[in-house]
Chains A and B, each alone.
Chain A
Amino acid sequence: MVRFYGTELPSRLMLGTAQYPSPSVLAEAFRRSGAGIATVSVRREAAGGEGGAFWALVRELGVRLLPNTAGCHSAREAVTTARMARELFGTDWIKLEVIGHADTLQPDPWGLVEAARELCDDGFKVFPYTTEDLVLADRLLGAGCEVLMPWGAPIGTGLGLANRYGLRSLRAQFPGVPMVVDAGLGRPSQAAEAMEMGYDAVLLNTAVARADDPAAMAEGFARAVEAGRLGFEAGAMEPRDMAAPSTPLIGKAFLA
């Protein structure tokens, strides 16, 4: 079981709700993923808009909701968005995004820490979307965050773990902090690798929603996450350069 802010969750897979071909495919993908958390957003609404129908759909999923502040480029904008999300979704959990770079959607470290501090002081349980930067991680923990969500690669790229050294280093520096690899995963094997590194969970969206068969991909990721976690808990052997026979030499028949 994984715990975030004192809440135990049944799965180490967290899934986004955007970009699915239809609401029924979204629902089937969630069912087969076993995900315990769904990310959602808030967007401008006109009279008679689609917000009501989507709200009904996500409530039927029966999973915990993690609203985001996607698209926010300043701390002030992110804080206001978080407060609107808290009221709409009835949760003080927030995936905090403060974007600093348009092409890579890299977080703005200064704005992220500023918004995290204000939201933590206001009673939010903040899940900051961050990089693998150790100093930034330390500042976010100091601001009151109890979970970190470093990127695997830029959002929507499917590149996997772009900076393995950085992610290993972050995991090693803060062994007691629950951490989620968020964004950039494209294939189940990449999720398994993140879990083998000791990350507590992964969060993804595009890789499932844009697959030819989203529900099958959701199950593929679920199995990969479980396999990777077992691999971590079991303690993997150290790699070596030279071969070492696995079959005993002693007792081998002497045949010239």
Chain B
Amino acid sequence: MRIMVNGTAREIAADTLAEALVALGQGEETVATALNEEFVPATARARTPIAPGDRIEIVAPRQGG
């Protein structure tokens, strides 16, 4: 299925947001997620289905002012 990950089109096999993170190699990393511009808590990823065309944002801690 084709989805957008951080603004880039990706082809992945996953039914949930949690599976998508594993497929992207980020299942174990310290990241936060949003699906179609809505925040999805880490505890809700396994029960959050994804569909073709969905937009996923994956973010991590970074320097800031």
Q: Write the residues of chain A forming the contact surface with B, with a CB cutoff of 8 angstroms.
A: 16-20, 39-52, 54-55, 58, 67-68, 70, 76-77, 80, 83-85, 87-89, 155, 183, 205-206
Complex formed: what's the CA distance from A51 to B42 in Å?
Answer: 17
A84 to B62, CA, bound (A): 12
Q: Is the CB of B60 within 8 A of A205?
A: no
Residues facing A in B25-65 (CB within 8 A) are 25-26, 29-34, 37-39, 41-42, 57-65
| B39 shortest CB reach to chain A, Å | 4
Query: Can you give 13 A-B contacts (C-beta < 8 A)?
Result: A19-B63, A40-B61, A40-B62, A42-B32, A42-B61, A42-B62, A51-B60, A55-B30, A58-B61, A83-B39, A84-B39, A88-B60, A205-B65
Chain A, Cβ-Cβ closest to B7: A44
Given A42-B32, A45-B26, A47-B29, A52 contacting B38 (CB threshold 8 A): no
With a cutoff of 8 Å between Cβ atoms, the chain A residues found around residue B60 in the complex are 42-43, 45, 49-52, 54-55, 88
Q: Mark B3-26, 1 if CB is under 8 A from A, else 0.
A: 000110000000000000000111
Interchain CA distance A77-B59 in the complex, whole Å:
13
What's the least CB distance linking A158 to chain B, in Å?
A: 13
Query: In the bound complex, how far is the Cα of B3 from the Cα of A157, in angstroms?
Result: 40
In angstroms, Cα B25 to Cα A13, docked, is: 39
CB-CB under 8 A for A51 and B30, given A58-B61, A80-B37, A88-B60: yes
Q: Are B61 and A44 in contact (CB under 8 A)?
A: no
Q: Known A17-B64, A40-B64, A49-B60; judge A88-B32 contact (CB<8 A).
A: yes
Given A18-B64, A42-B32, also A48-B59 (CB < 8 A): no
Contact status A45-B31, CB under 8 Å? yes
CA of A77 to CA of B60, assembled, Å:
16
Given known contacts A52-B29, A84-B39, what 9 new A-B pairs fall within 8 Å (CB)? Answer: A17-B63, A44-B7, A44-B58, A45-B6, A48-B25, A49-B29, A49-B60, A54-B60, A80-B34
Contact A84 B65 (CB under 8 A): no
Bound CA–CA A47/B31 (angstroms): 10
Cβ contact within 8 Å between B64 and A16: yes
Please state if B61 and A84 are interface contacts (CB–CB under 8 Å).
no
9 nearest A-B residue pairs (beta carbon):
A51-B60, A41-B64, A16-B65, A205-B65, A45-B60, A47-B25, A84-B32, A83-B39, A18-B63
Task: Report the minimum CB–CB distance from B32 to chain A (whole Å).
Answer: 4
